[in-house]
Amino acid sequence: MLEKITHSLDAYYSNRLNRITARILMFVAGLLYSAYSARFATQVDTELGKDVGGLAACFAVVNWFCFILLGRTLFFDRIALVVGALAGLFWLFVGDAIALPFWAGMMAMLVHLYRGWGRLSNIHVLYVFLMIMSISMYRQVYEYSAHPVYLAFFALLFVGYLLYAWSLKIAARKREVQLAILAEAEKAQQTAAEADQLLAQRIASLEKKRGLPAPLLAELAQITASARQILQCMETDKRDEVPGRRFLDRYLPGVEMIVTQGQTLSEQLLDDQQRQKSVEEQLEMMRRLRSAFHQQHQALLENDADDLNSELKTLDKLLKTDGYVK
């Protein structure tokens, strides 16, 4: 419903002829409102205000200007219009109804100027001029000091809106920071997933290696099996992701280097003694690496073992509490 009303107002005000018509209607509204409410004014402070005709004529212009200010907020800044309406509503409890558009328009335009401070244009100079003229003409009828309670409310209302707007900005900044953190976390998670996928591809490439001496192939098979188990630990337990990824990033290149260069030497070395020596050196290093991969896998399993022990202890306590175990 509100969206339909907003769309209708925007469509109406987009037409130049409609804007001119709205200005004329605001003048008529200011004239009629002032003429009617002038008869009930009882708090005027000047000779001009005591004359009903002079009061109506003066406020016909004031209210026309203020209706223009309110019209600006109606079409362009409805939050400012709501705050202005609150200021005008409270005025009815303390002052003459003829001045209601003045206080509502002043508050609405103050909020509007604050909200659009960084986007003010030449048209706002006109609205500031209308505000100054309205304040000057209002002063010809009423003393501002005659309603100190209302002035305090007016100031508190404006300050309250400023605090509200400030809190919204702070909340928006917090949301931006949170979104940035979430985006960074998602990016890191995506990067980690891509890194893990690359590790899996490298392990699969090692599993397909052929053409090595049988002892090297046997050690390689055990290394890749442990590497697969490390990847599985990383997938099932987030605590294992960092140490597991760090280990594989550090030692998989070494395995790849031995396998690649070992295969090349096996194919190209003609001297049997040199080839055998190279194979033995590679085999010794592969045994050390196999042991390291196995130890790393066992270290990652410690978390799972600790979790299982904790669960077993909890289950044992439940059994004893319920009387099934003494």
pLDDT value of residue 121: 84
> Among 76, 54, 38, 39, which residue's Cα sits nearest to residue 68?
76
Question: pLDDT per residue over 166-207, tens digit each?
Answer: 998 899 899 888 888 887 877 777 777 777 788 888 888 888
Q: Is 211 left (phi over 0), alpha (psi -120 to 50) or beta?
A: left
pLDDT value of residue 160: 93
The DSSP line for 25-89 is HHHHHHHHHHHHHGGG-----SHHHHSHHHHHHHHHHHHHHHHHHHHHHHHH-HHHHHHHHHHHH
pLDDT value of residue 37: 74
Per the CB < 8 A criterion, the answer to whether 145 and 43 are in contact is: no
Distance CA 224, CA 316 (A): 38
Token pair recorded at residue 267: 């194919």
Distance CA 114, CA 80 (A): 9
Distance CA 8, CA 268 (A): 84
pTM over 0.85, yes/no: no
Distance CA 283, CA 289 (A): 10
End-to-end CA distance of the chain: 69
**Mean pLDDT per 10-residue interval, the chain, length 326 residues:** 62 70 77 74 58 68 82 84 91 84 91 87 87 86 80 93 91 87 76 80 85 82 90 84 86 86 66 72 88 88 70 68 66
Q: Is 51 left (phi over 0), alpha (psi -120 to 50) or beta?
A: beta
Work out the number of other CB atoms within 10 angstroms of the CB of residue 240.
24
Angle at 195 between CA 245 and CA 188, to 5 degrees: 95
Q: Which residues of 161-170 are buried (b: 16+ CB within 10 A; e: fewer)?
A: beeeeeeeee
Distance CA 35, CA 118 (A): 39
The number of CA neighbours under 13 Å toward the Cβ of 63 is 26
Furthest-apart CA atoms within the chain: distance in Å: 125
CA distances from 215 to 149, 228, 270 (A): 96, 20, 20
Distance CA 69, CA 48 (A): 25
CA distances from 68 to 23, 74, 95, 149 (A): 7, 10, 22, 27
